[in-house]
DNA sequence: AAGGGGGGCCTTTTT
DNA sequence: GGCCCCCCTT
């Protein structure tokens, strides 16, 4: 056991060995959070304070859950299967499958992912003849999910105005539709599980008695409902509550926009009477200058629980800043710099390009591509979200649950079998009057439309008969042919990749049965549900990696959000401009600006050795060139930590103070770059234009009243010239050059 | 039923 | 600028 605790620092040690009471671990970036969490579990088990079955480990992502299991497996020669470790949604799914009757769900209930949910809402609006201009489906989806995540059923939503009352009505209709079809969306998994526990005392007691240790990762990301769920499971307020060990970092809370409540951390501390708040502040990832910058930035936020990262690794290099005239120049410079890093011995996968919004990746990709630098973009469609996969899954869903109208409509005419919109409309009308699912309505349908659709029904029934008793992967393989999906994509010119993905789905099913789901060992509870339903749940809950081809040596491109939890030797944070980062839609109220600041904090703390902040004076955005000033976050970093690689005037001084534009020391600091001088692009001298008394578009100017701004457009020339200037918070103004006393900065 | 054209929109995203 | 969605045409 001593071996387990070896090499923990004092705070980590204290956290791991806390008595079994409510505890809050404030784990800074790179402070060994996952290690503490897993070591805690291992320690509880090894000291006999807990047995595997009494442990509940909750994470947000499947990746985190898997990592926890893997690390535990490496620490202890124990069977991890007795523990419940998984995501909130995965655990709720498991619970609902085990108690589907009490939860009032069919045994084979299906899970709607976000896209399925949106489709279901659109369909609902259509059947109810509701104007989707007045109730945009996406907005309604947001409304429904927001309410569910706050723990409110339609009946509990307070509606003060007519519009809200109408939306609540639609929420109710949506609930009914899902119930009728036997499907649940993501938020429903949580809410239904919460209601199951609160309404069925024996079930609640069972789990409360069982899970004596509840460990929660990324606690700052929990929403209200998740917090209530934990509180219920932990038997909060009872004589013998479970020990909740919550790990999180309020400074890294970047999912407020989707319902995360940082306030849960404070509530937890107060409501659970947390006696032990432990701060993990020693950072094992980044050099000192990087941490100093991160600390300085986040210090501007209010209502923090308080934390200051430190390292014993030394201060390292300054933070390099490059300001380019345009986004293309920014990308070009970054790629040249990356090539230099690679020449100096860095490997491509040690380098990350981070951006605030996905749209920024295009220019970077273009530049990387034309320079022949291998790169990999994170984001975009995942395996189980691909069109052909969703089609195949829809057939499987119909096998498992014929009442799933979403699945029915998805494939009733795909591949096309002559079932048009009109016959479907008739079917939907009939289904509404019979109050049955589409599938169940077909036999009631007399006459013409019934003929073609009847053929579809027979196809599904034939599939069901032919696959009865087959192992899962053969079921999948069979429906791919029987449905005509394979034939369809074979005939499509660009269908090759889709065919391969369909084959991959068969492999995924085989893998799922063999590896992911080993049969329970002796004495272990079996996972509830039939294999097909379990596989379909798996497909919804774990849509797969964002991009395969891992391991390849490529520069990593992703949003700052996607970078959370990752680390790289060299990090470029790009587009560090006001309006982009902080994003313009989040600059104007304190709460969202603070979330932007936390996002910057996350971005900065991804870097181990070297950090670059780059920006462009102008960039193509929404189809037009836009001009911006450097991000306000620059002002929050001590000047001494920054090294401007482009000429820059110190604010408040008229002249000079240019920083060296030369190349910096080489990656491993053995030698400096030989072509340094010739690659200095001399930013700022690029856009020569009409005579504007020495001013040019894109230039930074100072106005006595409005402060600093950027010239974004001009009309006329000479002393008649009118200039449009973006003064940031002071607004965008048209000024007459002859009147406005402008000073070039 | 499929493809083209036009209009509106535009952070961040896991489950 | 580009994507998605809708509608219109064929």
DSSP string covering A592-659: HHHHHHHHHHHHHTTEEEEEEEEEEEEEEETTEEEE-PBPGGGGGS-GGGEEESS--PPTT-SS--PP
Q: Is A276 helix (H, G, I), strand (E, B) or coil?
A: strand
> From the candidates A113, A116, A218, A403, which is the catalytic residue?
A218
Give CA–CA dist A167/A275, Å, rounded.
43
Q: What's the pLDDT at A549?
A: 52
Is A47 an annotated catalytic residue? no
Classify residue A320 by its DSSP letter. Answer: E
Cα A427 versus chain centre, distance: 38
Chain B: positions less than 7 Å from a protein CB are 1-2, 9-15
Is A635 an annotated catalytic residue? no
Residues A481, A487, A488, A494, Cα dihedral to 10°? 120
Count of other CB atoms within 10 angstroms of residue A146: 16
Partnered with residue A713 across adjacent β-strands are A724
Classify residue A525 by its DSSP letter. Answer: P
The pTM assigned to this predicted structure is 0.85
Give whole-number Cα distances, A50 to A20, A56, A548, in Å.
Answer: 10, 11, 38
Footprint of strand C on the protein (CB under 7 A): A 122, 132, 359, 362, 620, 622-623
Length A623 CA → C2 C1' (Å): 8
Count of other CB atoms within 10 angstroms of residue A501: 17
Q: Is A13 helix (H, G, I), strand (E, B) or coil?
A: helix
Q: What's the pLDDT at A239?
A: 85
Please give the nucleotide, over all strands, whose C1' is closest to the CA of residue A360. B11
- Contact between A714 and A723 under an 8 Å Cβ cutoff? The reply is yes
Q: What's the pLDDT at A662?
A: 32
Phi, psi of A737 (to 5 degrees): -55, -35
Q: What's the pLDDT at A201?
A: 96
H/E element, A41: helix A33-46
For the packed helices A114-127 and A137-149, what is the interaxial angle rounded to 10 degrees? 120
Task: Assess whether the previous peptide bond of A91 is cis (omega < 30° from 0).
Answer: no
How many residues would you count in chain A? 745
Residue list, annotated binding site of A for ATP: 27-34
Partnered with residue A643 across adjacent β-strands are A320
Give whole-number Cα distances, A508 to A463, A503, A514, A590, in Å.
Answer: 20, 9, 10, 46
- Contact between A703 and A735 under an 8 Å Cβ cutoff? The reply is yes
> From the candidates A348, A498, A606, A619, which is the catalytic residue?
A606
Sign of CA dihedral A345, A346, A347, A353: negative
Work out the angle at residue A718's Cα, subtended by the Cα atoms of residues A713 and A721, and round it to the nearest 5 degrees. Answer: 35
Cα A280 versus chain centre, distance: 24
Is A217 an annotated catalytic residue? yes
End-to-end CA distance of chain A: 63
Footprint of strand B on the protein (CB under 7 A): A 60-63, 87, 89-90, 113-114, 186-187, 254-255, 257-258, 356-359, 379, 413, 416, 418-421, 541-543, 546, 558-559, 561-562, 583, 585-586, 592, 596, 622-623
Is A66 an annotated catalytic residue? no
A327 closest CA partner among A22, A625, A716: A625
Q: What's the pLDDT at A698?
A: 67
Length A138 CA → C5 C1' (Å): 13
Give CA–CA dist A392/A184, Å, rounded.
19
- Contact between A112 and A141 under an 8 Å Cβ cutoff? The reply is no
Contacts of A610 (CB under 8 A, 6+ apart): A316, A317, A320, A569, A570, A571, A667
Cα A639 versus chain centre, distance: 32
Classify residue A255 by its DSSP letter. Answer: -
Length A407 CA → C6 C1' (Å): 22
Sign of CA dihedral A286, A292, A295, A298: negative
- Contact between A572 and A354 under an 8 Å Cβ cutoff? The reply is yes
Q: A515-522: long-range contacts (C-beta < 8 A, 24 or more apart)?
A: A518/A81, A520/A81, A521/A79, A521/A81
Q: What's the pLDDT at A652?
A: 32
Chain C: positions less than 7 Å from a protein CB are 1-2, 6
Is A176 an annotated catalytic residue? no
Please give the nucleotide, over all strands, whose C1' is closest to the CA of residue A61. B14
Residue stretches of chain A with pLDDT short of 70: 1-2, 78, 446-451, 515-527, 546-551, 647-698, 712-722, 728-734
CB-based burial, A199-233: b 16+ in 10 Å, e otherwise:
eeeebbeebbeebbbbbbbbbbbbbbbbbbbbbbb
Contacts of A235 (CB under 8 A, 6+ apart): A208, A241, A242
């Amino acid at each position: 056991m001593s071996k387990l605790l070896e090499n923990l620092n004092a705070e980590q040690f204290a956290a791991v060995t806390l008595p079994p009471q409510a505890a809050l671990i404030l784990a800074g970036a790179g402070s060994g959070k996952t290690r503490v969490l897993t070591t805690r579990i291992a320690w509880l088990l090894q000291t006999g304070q807990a047995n595997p079955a009494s442990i509940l480990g909750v994470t947000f992502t499947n990746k985190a859950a898997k990592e926890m299991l893997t690390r535990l497996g490496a620490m202890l020669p124990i069977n991890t299967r007795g523990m419940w470790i998984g995501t909130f949604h995965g655990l709720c799914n498991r619970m609902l499958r085990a108690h589907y009757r009490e939860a009032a769900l069919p045994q084979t209930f299906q899970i709607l992912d976000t896209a399925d949910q949106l489709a279901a809402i659109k369909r609902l609006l259509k059947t109810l003849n509701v104007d989707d201009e007045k109730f945009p489906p996406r907005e309604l989806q947001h409304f429904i999910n927001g309410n569910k995540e706050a723990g409110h059923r339609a009946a509990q939503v307070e509606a003060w105005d007519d519009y809200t009352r109408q939306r609540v009505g639609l929420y109710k209709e949506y609930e009914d539709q899902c119930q009728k079809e036997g499907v649940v969306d993501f938020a429903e998994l949580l809410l239904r599980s919460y209601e199951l526990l609160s309404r069925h005392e024996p079930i609640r007691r069972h789990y409360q008695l069982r899970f004596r240790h509840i460990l929660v990762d990324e606690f700052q990301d929990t929403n209200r409902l998740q917090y209530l769920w934990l509180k219920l499971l932990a038997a909060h307020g009872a004589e013998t509550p479970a020990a909740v060990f919550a790990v999180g970092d309020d400074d890294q809370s970047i999912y407020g926009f989707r319902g995360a409540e940082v306030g849960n951390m404070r509530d937890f501390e107060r409501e659970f009477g947390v006696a032990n708040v432990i701060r993990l502040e020693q950072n094992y990832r980044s050099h000192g200058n990087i941490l100093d910058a991160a600390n300085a930035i986040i210090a501007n936020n209010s209502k923090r629980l308080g934390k200051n990262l430190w390292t014993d690794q030394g201060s390292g290099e300054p933070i390099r800043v490059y300001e380019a005239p345009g986004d293309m120049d920014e990308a070009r410079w970054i790629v040249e710099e990356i090539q230099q890093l690679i020449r100096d011995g860095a490997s491509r996968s040690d380098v990350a390009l981070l951006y605030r919004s996905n749209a920024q990746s295009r220019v970077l990709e273009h530049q990387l591509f034309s320079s022949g630098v291998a790169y990999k973009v994170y984001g975009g469609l995942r395996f189980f979200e691909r069109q052909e996969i969703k089609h195949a899954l829809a057939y499987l869903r119909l096998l498992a649950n014929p009442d799933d109208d979403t699945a029915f409509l998805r494939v009733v005419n795909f591949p096309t079998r002559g079932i048009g919109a009109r016959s479907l409309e008739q079917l939907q009308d009939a289904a509404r009057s019979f109050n049955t699912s589409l599938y169940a309505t077909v036999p009631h349908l007399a006459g013409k439309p019934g003929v073609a659709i009847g053929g579809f029904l027979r196809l599904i029934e034939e599939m069901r008969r032919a696959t009865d008793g087959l192992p899962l992967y053969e079921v999948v393989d069979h429906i791919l042919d029987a449905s005509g999906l394979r034939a369809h994509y074979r005939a499509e010119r660009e269908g090759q990749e889709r065919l391969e993905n369909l084959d991959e789905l068969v492999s995924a099913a085989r893998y799922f049965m063999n590896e992911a789901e080993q049969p329970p060992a002796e004495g272990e509870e079996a996972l509830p549900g039939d294999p097909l339903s379990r596989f379909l749940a798996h497909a919804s809950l774990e849509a797969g990696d964002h991009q395969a081809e891992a391991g390849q040596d490529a520069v990593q491109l992703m949003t700052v959000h996607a970078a959370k939890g990752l680390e790289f030797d060299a990090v470029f944070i790009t587009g560090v401009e006001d309006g982009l980062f902080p994003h313009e839609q989040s600059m104007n109220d304190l709460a969202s600006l603070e979330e932007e600041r936390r996002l910057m904090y996350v971005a900065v703390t991804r870097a181990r050795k070297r950090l670059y902040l780059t920006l462009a004076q102008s960039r193509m955005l929404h189809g037009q060139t836009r001009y911006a000033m450097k991000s306000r976050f620059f002002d929050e970093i001590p000047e001494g930590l920054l090294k401007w690689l482009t000429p820059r005037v110190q604010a408040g001084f008229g002249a000079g103070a240019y920083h060296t534009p030369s190349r910096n020391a080489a990656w491993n600091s053995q030698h400096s770059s030989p072509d340094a001088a010739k690659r200095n692009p001399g930013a700022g001298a690029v856009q020569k234009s009409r005579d504007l008394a020495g001013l040019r578009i894109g230039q930074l100017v100072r106005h006595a009243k409005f402060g600093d701004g950027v010239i974004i457009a001009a009309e006329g020339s000479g002393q008649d010239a009118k200039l449009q200037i973006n003064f940031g918070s002071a607004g965008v103004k048209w000024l007459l050059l002859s009147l406005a006393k402008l000073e070039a900065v």
